[in-house]
Amino acid sequence: MQQHLTTLDRQPDSFGTLLKQWRDRRNFSQLDLAFTSQVSQRHISFLESGRAKPSQEMVLQLATVLEVPLRHQNLLLTAAGFAPIHTETDLSAPEMTSVQKAIDLIMRQHEPYPAFVVDRYWNLVLTNQGATRLLDAFIEPEKLHSLFYIDGKINIVRVMFHPQGLRPFIVNWESCANHLLQRVHRETLVEPESEGSHRLLRELMSDPDVERIWQSSSRMADHTLLLTIHLHRDDLELKFFSTIATLGTPYDITLQELRIECLFPADETTERHWQQSQHLDRHERIRA
C-alpha cells in the first residue's frame, strides 16, 4: 500500500510508454494485444519502443481494446501528436439537456429513498430529496457545509470517514470503511496518474484507525448476501444496500465518469422507519 501513497513521480509522456503502461495494467502481453486488435506483434513492439508512429485510428483502436477511459484516450492522442477528440462538458450545458432529464427521472423515480450522483473523485454532483433527508438526519446542514464543502464540492467518502460526519452513526463502520478503501485503492491502480484519487487515499490512510482497518481482514459472515450500511441515531435505525449505475456508451468524459448510486431498504424495519421519518418531515414543513 505504501508505494501508492507516496507523491507521484512525473509520468513519462511518450506514446510508447503510455501504451505499455496500459497494456501492463490490463495484463495484456504484446501478443495478446496484437491478436485482439488485429495488429502485428512486431508493430506493437515498434510502437512501444518509438520505432514506429501510430495513426490516430491506430491510437483509438488500441485504446478501445485496452478499455482506456476517455480522459486517458485524450492523453494517448496528445502523446502521439494528435489533438484530443473527447470533450469534457459541464452537466449544466445546454447540450446535456437530454442526459439531465434522464438522470432527473432516475432520481425522482427513486424517491423517497436516497440517490446520489458522484464524479470520479466521489464528489457529490446531484442528490434527490431522499439523499438530502438522509444526510440531514445524521449531520446538521450547517456542519455539513462548514466541514465538508471544499472547493465548491462535498466529497461523500470524506463524509463517511470523518469523525464529525457519518462515521459515528455507522454501526458496521469498519466493514463499510474497508469496502470503500478497496474501491478507492482500485481507482488509484486503474488511473495511477490521477493525483485526485491518490490525494484522497492518502488523506483517509492518515487516520491510524483507517490504516488498521486496511491492514486487517474484514470478511463478512458466510450467510450475508451483500454489504449493507447500518445507520443508527437515537430512535432512527436504518439499513440500506446500494446499486450503482453508469451511462452507457458515453463519448464525453463527464458522462463516462458519472455514477448514480441508489440506496434501497435492506429490511422491513428500515422501510417502516424511513416512511415514518418522511411523514414527520412533511408535517414539520406544513407547520413551518
In a domain, 136, yes or no: yes
- Per the structure, the count of domains in the chain is 2
- Domain boundaries, position 72: 10-79
Q: What are the tens digits of pLDDT across the range 113-171?
A: 999 999 989 999 999 999 999 999 999 999 999 999 988 899 999 999 999 999 999 99
Q: What is the CATH number of the domain that holds 25?
A: 1.10.260.40
Last residue of a domain, one of 79, 107, 130: 79
Rounded to the nearest 5°, which phi and psi values hold at 20? -65, -40
| Cβ within 8 Å of residue 114, ≥6 positions away | 127, 128, 130, 131, 133, 134, 240, 262, 263
In a domain, 2, yes or no: no
Residue 195 has pLDDT above 80, yes or no: no
In a domain, 89, yes or no: no
Give 15-65 as a 3 state SS string: HHHHHHHHHHHCCCCHHHHHHHHCCCHHHHHHHHHCCCCCCHHHHHHHHHH
In a domain, 4, yes or no: no
In a domain, 5, yes or no: no
Q: What is the CATH number of the domain that holds 278?
A: 3.30.450.180
Residues 159 and 245 occupy one common structural domain: yes
Query: What pLDDT band is residue 280 in, cutting at 50, 70 and 90?
Result: low
Q: What is the pTM of this model?
A: 0.83
Residues 163 and 67 occupy one common structural domain: no
Q: What are the tens digits of pLDDT across the range 95-129?
A: 999 999 999 999 999 999 999 999 989 999 999 99
